[in-house]
Structure 1
Amino acid sequence: MTLVIAGCTAKPAEEVASQKITLYKSQTCGCCALYTKYAMNKGYPLEVKDMTNMDALKEQYQIPASMRSCHTMVVGDYVVEGHIPLEAVEKMMKEKPDIRGIAMPGMPSGSPGMPGSPSGEFIVYAVKKDGTFTEFMRI
C-alpha cells in the first residue's frame, strides 16, 4: 500500500521540500506511524510505503547493521534511518555532504515517534558511502 501524505501545519526547509521523500515502514509498527505523523505535522510531503521485508530494503540502501532502526526514509539521494529529529535532515540537505545518509540507531526513548523522556542528547551519525560512520551532530 502506498499513501501520500502532505502536512499543512508547518513548512520544511526549501532544501527538503523540493525533494522526493519516501518513508518505508512496517504496516504494524506504531512508532513508525507516530514518526510519520511527526514529519507530516512539520510539513514534510511524504510518500509512505508499507513494507513486508524491511531488512531487504536496508540491505538495498546499504545501511550498516549497527546503524539500523525500524523505519527508513529516503530524501532525494540520501537515506535517513530511524527516529531522527528533522533538524538533522534539514542540516544534511543544506550542507549536502558526500555521504550515503544519516542514522540514529535503535529506538531512543523520547526521540520523534518514541514514547518516554530523552535520557540525554540524541547522536545522529553520518553513514559514509564505504559503510563506515562518524558523528554527524548531537541534538
Structure 2
Amino acid sequence: MNRFLVLPLALPMVALAAEPAGQATTPLAGSDMAGQLGQLLLGLLLVIGLIFLLAWLLRRVQQLAPRGGQVIKLLASQSLGPRDRLVLVQVGNEQILLGLSAGRITPLHVLKEPVHLADAEPATPEFAQRLMELLGKDQKDKS
C-alpha cells in the first residue's frame, strides 16, 4: 500500500527536475552570464567605494580630535645604529632622555633644565611632508 502512495507524490518531483535541464540549453545562457558579471562588478565597485568613504570619514574624525592636548611630546631623535636611538621626550614640564633598542626602552637622564629647540622644524615630520621635501630636492637637483 505504501508503494501506491509514494508513486503519485514522486511524479511531480520528476517532472520539475526535468524542466530546468531543457531550459539550460536555450541561447539566453550567454546573457545570463553577462548579467552575473555585471552584478559582480557593481558589487565590487560598491565595496571599493565604501572603503574610500570610510577612509575619508576616518580622516575627518581624526582631524576633529584636539592635537594640542598631548601630554607626551617627542622633541628630538638621534639614530645610533640600525636598531638603537636616543630620544628626547617632554612629559609635562620634565624632559627625559630615553635610549631605545630592539626590545627595550631605558630612561637615561632626566634633565633639570629643559633644552630649548628651534620651533621652525619639528623633530619628526609626517611621512607625506618628508616625501614632498625629498621630491622637491630631487627636482631642484635635476634642473
TM-score between the two structures when normalised by the length of structure 1: 0.24
Greater RCO (Cα-Cα under 8 Å, separation 6 or more): 1
Hey, which of these two has a bigger chunk of strand by percent?
Answer: 1
TM-score between the two structures when normalised by the length of structure 2: 0.24
Hey, which of these two has a bigger chunk of helix by percent?
Answer: 2
